[in-house]
Amino acid sequence: MDSSQFYVVLLLSIFMGVCLASPIKDQKRDRITKLPGQPKNVKFAQYSGYVTVNEQAGRALFYWLVETPASDGPSSRPLVLWLNGGLGCSSIAYGAAEEIGPFRISSDGNSLYLNPYSWKNSHQICIQQVTKEQKFISGHYVPQLAQIVYQKNKGIKDPDINLKGVLVGNAVIDDYHDYIGTFEYWWVHGLISDATYRMLGIACDFGSSQHPSEQCLQALILATVEQGNINPYSIYTKPCNDTTSLRCSLGGRYPWMSRAYDPCTERYSVLYFNHPEVQKALHANVTGISYSWKTCSDIVGDYWADSPLSMLPIYQELIEAGLRIWLFLYICCGDTDSVVPVTATRYSVDALNLPTIINWYPSMIMARLVGGWSQVYKGLTLVTVRGAGHEVPRHRPRQAFILFRSFLENNKSHLYIYIYIFIGVLIILQLYGFSFSFLPFVDFLLIRIMGCSQFYVVLFLSIFVGICLASPIEDQKRDRITKLPGQPKNVKFAQYSGYVTVNEQVGRALFYWLAETPASHGPSSRPLVLWLNGGPGCSSIAYGAAEEIGPFRISPDGNSLYLNPYAWNNCKGICHPQQCFGLSLLHVLIFLLLCSAVANVLFLESPAGVGFSYSNSTSDLYTAGDQRTAEDTYTFLVNWFERFPQYKHRDFYIAGESYAGHYVPQLAQIVYQKNKGIKDPDINFKGFLVGNAVTDDYHDYIGTFEYWWVNGLISDATYRMLGTACDFESSEHPSDKCFQALSLATVEQGNIDPYSIYTKPCNDTASLRHRLGGRYPWMSRAYDPCTERYSVLYFNHPEVQKALHANVTGISYSWKTCSDIVGDYWADSPLSMLPIYQELIEAGLRIWVFSGDTDSVVPVTATRHSINALNLSTIVNWYPWQHDSEVGGWSQVYKGLTLVTVRGAGHEVPLHRPRQAFILFRSFLENKYMPLPPS
């Protein structure tokens, strides 16, 4: 018998000894009377103590049993054995004290409080202190123990240990697939560089991770450095201290990971369980162990003897056994864990080649929110938990409790799937001509890209007409905003808004809003930044100005405004009073220096038909496209600079996001080409900045579908279907098969906010608004947080429109955040912006591309694939940039382009991570690297 088998036999013996066959007197002796610091009115019984597993060697294991409350009938409830992994980590430290146990430990390490989502509330739990990390090596312990129990029970009609199933989370299963899935997860989430990803693939022998080569160790060290000071067990949460990611041990079986998750709660358990009175109450440390109680044993972990490369053969045996003895398996994964990520689990489960009973679907929690995703195979159920890290019950306790309840009840979690199957059938039927007026959200699937005749008009004469018609200075004075309704007091910066005509003949005019820097910051010396939102067909006033980088935010009542502390025309966000209070003089001086990097920001609603921008020719709304938008915007700039001559020759930048990934480089190309040969151009264009930008159809498709699968948003079957059915060379006219695959993906994703996959959507239909017509059929053209609703209320007030000098022609329709007509009838859209990037990079312009890494609409993978296609040489390799001593994201500097990711941000980076976005903007203006980690 090898040491692994010997160890699981020991686990079996303690399980039998403690939970089934302990003498009554030993049971009474083990009864916990009261724990120090325990809250009042504890109505459940607890037992703890030792069970000897080897008399000769004097080897004994410690357990803690928590029964359900007496009122719930503990005698009729099942028994669950919980094991944490490591190797060498304590199930008391993690499972009991942080995850599913009855209590949580207060930060002082002296008192306890009840865990409202304790699993003992429904069933009794026997927690066994085994061996190091969370529960991921339990991915070995659990199936190995289950195999022994199953084999011992063979032929016994009514076995003492009546094993019914196993449940494992973020579990180490198979070395080969764990390696592949982990490295892919790191790259897809922007945690490592392209070079390191390639190096890991070449240097690490996927067949055996027990003894990694020197080259593999080197690659893993580089990956650790590139990831920076994040919490690898929950990549979007703040680590407890600055050394969390630096504790990774590169020895042992899984050399990329340290063996202990170190939230601050771990510190509290060390304090609590080392109190002598606690140990006495628990009947622990009866032999007076010479060392302090620790969450994990370095000795056990470092000297672990044997570890099979794969648990898949055991899973296969147990699944086959389940057909005869009603054994069912659940595997769950928190999808923000980078140590044993969801991709590793999906690859391992796929390797079992199990037939599917219920395909991938979003599982629901209270208020019809997506709690994660699930797929039911023959003999095994896979569940992901959205937004959870390595310790699922710690990060998403309610969802974990629902998962546990569903596991015990076997299949009750699938009740909601029939709703989604029904919706999916309706969607597919509508694709083939059926209509269901009672489901208006399905109508988006009927939209097709219509063949529009190309309508290109050269508009340069309108430049001169606009100049001659009115005095520029008088127009500027007329556009000055005196005060906006609901505006806060003490606004110290100037604002202008109004119309600039771009085509006199048809009466086409674009609406703008300029927010200058405060007078104290010298607006006359600051650069000018033009901000564009995409869609196509969405308003830069609605999004850029009102939600992201503008001077104000709109209150929920839609009647009043408040200052945006992170406005790009103002530096208050770097150190407003609440932040500066208590800081040292040095820190305040640093913040004041940072205030120098602000700009005058110009928001433009483009093309005509978007927001307040209009055309007297209705046909213009049905014939807009990339080329005319770029030409009109350039005409706007020329005329606007005549109205504001003080901005001529000033440094000028263009910025935007989403489909502005087309607008921005196309406009930049026109400005660059028009400026050729001019020594001191009026429009002194210096560079551009784009975020979560549509760039190249081919790579956007590949990167988006990959992101969906890696994050567990779609099934294996749909992922394969998307790759087969969708022509990556052209997304402008997707086939019916591609539509069908995209509709299935939408159903499988469920009611999440696709623009920020870990945040709560504003309403239950957020993800059902996806328009499958148009150029990018997987995405709606507007991010719909509740803030969008506030802007619709505010900008439709007549007094607001009057103050903004807007709607002067009395447009027949209400102001909207996005124009469906403009978006639905978009005429032309080139397949790729990469040729423009190449031209502008060669011209030496400053180009920065940024990406929020929780956006599934234009995800970070799409951006990385597109940039890689440029084949640029690297100046500064992938590194974690810093924000308040934690990782703000990652960056790589290429020759001619800088890529920046923003950790935890969605599609609208300045909305989700405003401070990090301001730091990014400041670095762009100063043309400096993103803040480097301390050396």
Q: Which residues are catalytic?
A: 658, 855, 907
Angstrom CA distances, 138 to 85, 133, 169, 201, stand at: 5, 9, 8, 26
Q: Between vectors from CA 336 to CA 335 and to CA 337, what angle results, nearest 5°?
A: 95
Rounded (5°) CA angle 29-34-35: 110
Exposure string of 489-518, with b = 16+ CB inside 10 Å and e = fewer, is: eebebbbbbbbbbbbeebebbbbbbbbbbb
Contact 842, 669 (CB under 8 A): no
How big is the chain, counted in residues?
935
Q: Can you read off the two tokens belonging to residue 439?
A: 């489901």
How far is Cα 664 from Cα 666, in angstroms, rounded to an integer? 6
Phi and psi at 20, nearest 5°, equal -125, -40
Secondary structure of residue 882 in the 3-state scheme? strand
- Give the tokens for residue 221: 């060290």
Collapsing DSSP to helix, strand or coil, 513 comes out as strand
Question: Closest by alpha carbon to 126, among 47, 65, 72?
Answer: 65
The CA-based angle 605-840-598, given to 5 degrees, is 55
3-state DSSP assignment of residue 618: coil
Tokens linked to 140: 């070995």
**Residue among 411, 404, 371 at smallest CA distance from 388:** 371
Q: Which two tokens stand for residue 526?
A: 């600051």
DSSP 846-897: EEEEEEETT-SSS-HHHHHHHHHTT-PPEEEEEEEEEETTEEEEEEEEETTE
Amino acid, single-letter form, for residue 472: P
3-state class (DSSP) for residue 308: coil
Backbone conformation region of residue 658, classed left if phi is above 0, alpha if psi is from -120 to 50, else beta: left
Cβ neighbours, 10 Å, residue 884: 11
Token couple for 107: 């930060």
| Rg, Å, the chain Cα set | 30
| Residue 378: C-alpha distances to residues 23, 363, 375, 384, 405 (Å) | 40, 18, 10, 18, 20
The phi, psi pair for 357, rounded to 5°, reads: -95, -50
In the structure encoding, which two tokens stand for residue 869, read together?
Answer: 């296609």
Confirm if 145 and 12 have CB atoms less than 8 A apart. Answer: yes
Q: Which of 658, 614, 648 is nearest to 632 (CA)?
A: 614
| Kind and range of the H or E run holding 794 | helix 786-795
CA distance 316 to 479: 73
Q: 626-643 and 460-469 helices cross at what angle (nearest 10)? A: 30
d(CA 87, CA 858): 39
Residue 76, φ and ψ in degrees, nearest 5: -100, 0
Query: DSSP readout, 8-75?
Result: HHHHHHHHHHHHT---HHHHHHHB----TTPPS---EEEEEEEEEEETTTTEEEEEEEEEEEGGG-GG
> Which residue shows structure tokens 């990652």?
890
Residue with tokens 């304790």: 118
Residue 78, sorted as left (phi over 0), alpha (psi -120 to 50) or beta, turns out to be: beta
Please choose, from the candidates 647, 689, 694, the residue with its C-alpha nearest in 3D space to the C-alpha of residue 523.
647
Give the containing element (helix H, strand E) for 507.
Answer: none
